[in-house]
């Protein structure tokens, strides 16, 4: 036994003397755990952190001097829409400049189905960041039931469960739902619970764009908790927000519900982006979900039928005034209108003014229906309040996630992580730096069961960020949503330098990250 220990000690000593591939020196380390910072050098070999401590004087192929700077784990964006856009921009530079090294796609119930082909394509692709995918309930339901507004038959439910099962075996992180969107909005809670149980059998979690984020937000949070409780798996309220003047402050009620659920053993968590405006399609946000039953053709028929058209118009006007419109058509700004690009960057009120039409709720509702008939638009909706954002952000089980993408015209895509560090840590002091980094790294890694990332420790994968907390800044705005963040100098992904001295390199070391149920085939 003594001989074995001596041999091990000699082997370790020889290993420690070998040159590092990368040596980061002089760093103030914020390690992703939420613990206080400490000072250390970081030695990397291959794709792994192999040493942490006083390492000056050791040889290394590449030296990175982090004196006066902070080193953190690479940030994990647990809600991201960059699949399949990553194939057009493999550097994902808008995320690298924020320190993001992992993107998790397939959110809001929308994902490739089957998942294997998508993950195989990603695995063969050279990208600068890691990527994983969830399996989407809405996509599965559409394949099995089209846009039918009804319960599934027993045979259809069995088929959907098998598709979730296969998705988990193919490497899904978990089941995503978008109960706000059609056709998922046609599903009852029991249907989702049945599918969630399958994801839970394979170690997955449930992440949901909940059914309502306005007047019925409390009920929607209760539903999401119930899915986790009865489905037997962790459950997450994604991009948690409360919108509309009448609902301001209800985040106190939703967070209390989460505390109560966690006290009885339900593993409920939250993620959030730090903006007072959301982004989605105009139709999904403003047109009542029932009107989409049967698909787009059926919607157009309803819009042509006077009685149903009036019913739809009334609901759109209500949502503009009391919910997504934040009180009026000036708060809804179009961002991507394929049929008429001249509408981009204009509010509904701007468009009505240009046509010499008074921007009333009814007139705005008419405009929404006209735009939808022409193919629809995406839009930014200014309807969220800062006090709810800060309350949710302080909550200990809240992660930071962008809900953005490489191509989305909302500043959350290029600014979320930098904005939290600049505005909410440095300026407003809502969070300590250690807590913010934990919400961006260790906490989402734990939720995703990615146990080799998210913390700066020997043995962990070398996804690391060197940044200046005094200079980090989000530059993306609603007028210029693709402006790159500042303050991150270097980013290491799987032991390769993806961003060096503020410039994207030619390295493409990103990998596919597979979920806990993955079985290669």
State the pLDDT at residue 89: 97
Q: Flag whether pLDDT at 401 surpasses 80.
A: yes
DSSP 353-422: HHTT----HHHHHHHHHHHHHTT--EEEEE-B-HHHHHHHHHSTTEEE---B-SS-SSTHHHHHHHHIII
Render pLDDT for 317-335 as a digit per residue (tens, 0 to 9).
Answer: 999 999 999 999 999 999 9
What proportion of the chain, given as a percentage, has pLDDT over 70?
Answer: 97
pLDDT confidence of residue 427:
98
Architecture of domain 73-279+383-451: Alpha-Beta Barrel (3.20)
pLDDT in tens, 69-78: 999 999 999 9
Q: What is the pLDDT of residue 3?
A: 55
Given a contact cutoff of 8 angstroms between Cβ atoms, the answer to whether 216 and 158 are in contact is no
Report the chain's mean pLDDT, rounded to a whole number: 96
Q: What residue spans define the domains of the chain? A: 73-279+383-451, 282-382
Alpha-carbon distance 266 to 411, whole Å?
Answer: 33
8-state DSSP, 423 = I
- What count of residues does the chain have? 521
| pLDDT for 8 | 44
What pLDDT is attached to residue 521? 83
Q: Which of 261, 270, 262 is nearest to 238 (CA)?
A: 270
Asked if residues 280 and 241 have their Cβ atoms less than 8 Å apart, the reply is: no
Strand partners, 465: 72, 491
Model confidence pLDDT, tens digit, residues 409-461: 999 999 999 999 999 999 999 999 999 999 999 999 999 999 999 999 999 99
Eight-state DSSP code of residue 434: H
Q: What's the pTM value of the predicted model, to 2 decimals? A: 0.95
Query: With bands split at pLDDT 50, 70 and 90, how would you rate the model's confidence at 7?
Result: very low
User: Confidence band (pLDDT; 50, 70, 90) for 10?
Assistant: very low
Q: List residues bridging with 500 in a β-sheet.
A: 503
pLDDT confidence tier of residue 16, bands split at 50, 70 and 90: low
pLDDT at 4: 46
Supply φ then ψ for residue 140, to 5 degrees.
-65, -45
Beta pairing, strands 277-281 & 378-382 = antiparallel
Cβ pair 15, 4 in contact under 8 A: no
Report CA 419 to chain centroid distance, whole Å: 15
């Amino acid at each position: 036994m003594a001989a074995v220990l001596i041999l091990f000690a000699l082997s370790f000593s020889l290993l420690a003397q070998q040159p590092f591939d990368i040596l980061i020196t002089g760093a103030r380390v914020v390690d992703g755990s939420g613990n206080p910072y400490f000072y250390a050098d970081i030695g990397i070999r291959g794709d792994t952190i192999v040493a942490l401590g006083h390492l000056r004087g050791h040889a290394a192929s590449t030296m990175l001097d982090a004196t006066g700077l902070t080193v953190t784990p690479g940030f994990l964006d647990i809600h991201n829409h960059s699949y399949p856009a990553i194939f057009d921009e493999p550097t994902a530079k808008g995320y690298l400049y924020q320190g993001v090294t992992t993107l998790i796609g397939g959110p809001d119930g929308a994902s490739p189905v089957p998942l294997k082909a998508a993950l195989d394509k990603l695995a063969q692709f050279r990208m600068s960041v890691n990527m994983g995918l969830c399996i989407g309930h809405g996509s599965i339901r559409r394949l099995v039931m089209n846009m039918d507004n009804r319960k599934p038959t027993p045979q259809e439910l069995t088929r959907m469960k098998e598709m979730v099962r296969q998705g988990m075996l193919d490497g899904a992180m978990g089941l995503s739902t978008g109960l706000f969107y059609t056709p998922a909005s046609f599903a009852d809670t029991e249907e989702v619970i049945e599918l969630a149980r399958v994801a839970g059998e394979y170690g997955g979690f449930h992440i949901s764009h909940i059914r309502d984020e306005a007047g019925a937000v409390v009920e929607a949070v209760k539903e999401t908790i119930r899915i986790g409780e009865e489905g037997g798996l962790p459950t997450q309220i994604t991009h948690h927000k409360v919108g509309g003047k009448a609902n301001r402050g209800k985040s106190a009620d939703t967070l209390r519900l989460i505390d109560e659920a966690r006290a009885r053993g339900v593993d409920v968590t939250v993620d959030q982006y730090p903006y007072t405006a959301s982004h989605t399609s105009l139709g999904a946000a403003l047109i009542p979900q029932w009107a989409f039953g049967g698909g787009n053709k059926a919607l157009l028929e309803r819009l042509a039928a006077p009685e149903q058209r009036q019913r739809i118009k009334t609901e759109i006007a209500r949502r503009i005034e009391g919910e997504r419109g934040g009180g009026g058509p000036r708060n809804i700004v179009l961002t991507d209108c394929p049929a008429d690009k001249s509408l981009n960057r204009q509010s509904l009120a701007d468009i009505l003014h240009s046509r010499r039409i008074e921007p009333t709720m009814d007139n705005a509702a008419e405009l929404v229906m006209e735009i939808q008939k022409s193919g629809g638009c995406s839009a930014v909706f200014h309807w969220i309040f800062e006090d709810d954002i800060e309350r949710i952000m302080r909550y200990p089980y809240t992660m930071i996630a962008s809900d953005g993408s490489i191509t989305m015209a909302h500043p959350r895509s290029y600014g979320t992580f930098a904005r939290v560090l600049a505005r909410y840590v440095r300026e407003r002091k809502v969070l300590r730096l250690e807590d913010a980094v934990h919400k961006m790294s260790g906490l989402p890694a734990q939720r995703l069961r990615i146990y080799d990332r998210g913390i700066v420790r020997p043995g962990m994968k070398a996804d690391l960020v060197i940044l200046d907390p005094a200079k980090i800044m989000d530059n993306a705005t609603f007028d210029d949503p693709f402006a790159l963040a500042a303050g991150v100098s270097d980013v290491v992904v799987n032991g390769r330098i993806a961003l060096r001295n503020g410039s994207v390199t030619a390295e493409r070391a990103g990998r596919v990250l597979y979920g806990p149920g993955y079985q290669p085939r």
